[in-house]
Chain A
Amino acid sequence: MKDYEVIIGLEVHAELSTNTKIYCNCTTEFGADPNTHCCPICTGMPGTLPVLNKKVVEYAVKMGLATNCKIANFSKQDRKNYYYPDLPKAYQISQYDLPLCENGHIDIEVDGKKKTIGITRIHIEEDAGKLIHDAYTGDTLVDMNRCSVPLIEIVSEPDMRSAKEAVEYMQALKSILEYLDICDCKMQEGSLRCDVNLSVRPVGQKEFGTRTETKNLNSFKAIQNSIEFEIKRQIEVLENGGTIYQETRRFDDAKGEGYAMRTKEEANDYRYFPEPDLAPIVLSDEYINSIKESLPELPNVKKERYLKEYNLSLYDANILTMSIKTANYFENVVKKCNNPKMVANWIMGDFARLLNENDISIDESKISEENLANLIDLIDKGTISSKIAKTVFEEMFNTGKEAKQIVEEKGLVQISDEGAIKEIVEKVVENNPQSIIDYKAGRDRALGFLVGQVMKESKGKANPGLVNKLLLEILNK
């Protein structure tokens, strides 16, 4: 088999978190009863006139600036024509030749190596409705609530070479969208999704191979799996002397399989033309600069700061800055207890595990920033051992109680009184004569066993440092 190079480009759709739709004043809220967030404009009634939502332009420009794009001083909207029941006007208002943002790039990191991915363009457009298949009648039902919810489409250059790079790129875009607070990025609700353009070519070949487009992937897992599937499929076809057809495909995540859509190739003739109902968008340099100045600290900058200011490892800084919610939480806890490394360990360790298990985000947890800071203070001061702290933390997570209260209620204060510990140590030594013999015979494991027994006897409350010290004193007598 030949060696193949994989070429991937992504078209990412992000629903903007504006209050209203892009051309009318219907709400964009998710999850309402079908067809209750609609009006004549977003359902394409004849004679209605769309007016562009100002916030949509602002949000798109923000994303453009955050991804190093050139923002157009002059931009317009166009009609993309196709017939499908989820599109009541039979055209989607989008942007064709004069998008709002062009020629950007972002950096991603794969296996410790930095790589720059080009962004061809970012344009604004409207979302389509939702089709529901009615198994009983066999009909298709149309819910137009999502019609005209504002989207930005972020089109990348074909710069990615593996599923891993594509996932990292998507993650980086998601982080930026969250930092800018312009998209809620709920992938399972479809507010962030992507189409993958993919082709393969034998290493050394100059021309690109024929590419396929896999549409509407709405989880990182689906992106990863669909890319791996499509790479394998294309290489197999070529190795068997077959031909790759330019086609639109879907990926069934449950089955782990991709398949070609039955829509005819012809349908891809969109006959774009300028939207006569909407005025051109003219942005002054002053406007663009004022948006630039309003941008928050972005993930890459924040990461660099964490390395310097908090002395964290690159790994820690990467994880903590990936989501703005986590980063904010982290910074607020550190402000209160000033132990960045320990805060990082808690957030990335037990906290992350419990959040994951309960499927909630950090800002939805019952543990306030202040409470976590207080817990860390208790460990720092030696009031509780780090082992006990884990129990306290779980209790805090489940009940939202304060660390101090839990420690008091359950009598978990660490025993640091030498006399008290000595008593337990002596008792354990007396009950385990064989371990003493083993220790004297040079078996170090015996010491670990004895420490364990003392901790058990003290219900985990004995100060481990003192236990070690006192045990050694007695054993080495």
Chain B
Amino acid sequence: MSVSREEVQKIAELSKLQFSENELEKFTKDLSNIVDFADKLAKLDVEGVKPTAHILDIQNVFKEDNVKPSYKREEILKNAPSAQGGCISVPKVVE
């Protein structure tokens, strides 16, 4: 396996996700397959090829600095599971 169970566990923690033993097993296998597939690229000769910064051949896509109306607050809070005082309410954050 090119991805270890420990790596999957760490990624899960960083992503604030919890997996059962079975899920851990499954994701380790799936992620390994994905990495193996992508690893084919590592076997190519890329001598003299510039690193890709973007998959499309575009550059300098800018917007002007002009203010447009924002959304109504009700719209912004519509998808929040919980809101109070015009804010999204989340479980207490400890630093």
Contacts and interface: CB of A to CB of B under 8 A. Distances in A.
Contacts of A84: 93
B42 interface: no
B21 interface: no
Contacts of A54: 62-65
A238 interface: no
Interface in B74-95: 76-77, 82, 84-95
A26 interface: yes
Contacts of B68: 20, 25-26
A262 B63 CA distance: 40
Interface string A17-30: 01110000111000
Interface string A222-256: 00000000000000000000000000001000000
B43 interface: no
Contact of A35 (B73, B90, B91): B73
Interface residues of B, number: 38
A271 B14 contact: yes
Majority SS of interface residues in chain B?
A: loop
A131 B76 contact: no
B60 A281 contact: yes
Interface string A32-59: 0111111110010000000111110100
B14 A267 contact: yes
B84 A276 contact: no
B71 A141 contact: no
A349 interface: no
A466 interface: no
Contact of A250 (B53, B85, B94, B95): B95
A34 B86 contact: yes
A276 B14 contact: no
Majority SS of interface residues in chain A?
A: loop
Interface string B31-72: 000000000000000000000011110111111111110110
B3 to A, nearest CB: 14
A281 to B, nearest CB: 6
Given A54-B63, A134-B84, A137-B84, A83 B16 contact: yes
A53 B63 contact: yes
Contacts of A139: 82, 84, 89-92
Contact of A142 (B58, B71, B90): B90
B77 A35 contact: yes
Contacts of B65: 18-20, 53-55
Contacts of B26: none
Nearest to A215: B95
Contact of B89 (A140, A278, A279): A140
Contact of B70 (A39, A83, A85, A131): A39
A33 B73 contact: yes
B85 A141 contact: yes
A295 interface: no
Nearest to A267: B14
Interface of A: 18-20, 25-27, 33-40, 43, 51-55, 57, 74, 76, 81-85, 98, 131-134, 137-144, 250, 261-263, 266-267, 269, 271, 274, 276, 278-282
**7 tightest A-B CB contacts, nearest first:** A141-B87, A25-B68, A54-B62, A55-B65, A142-B88, A279-B61, A76-B53
Given A134-B84, A141-B90, A261-B95, 20 more contacts: A20-B67, A33-B73, A34-B73, A35-B76, A38-B71, A38-B73, A39-B76, A43-B76, A134-B89, A139-B82, A139-B89, A139-B90, A141-B84, A141-B88, A142-B87, A266-B10, A271-B14, A279-B54, A279-B61, A280-B53
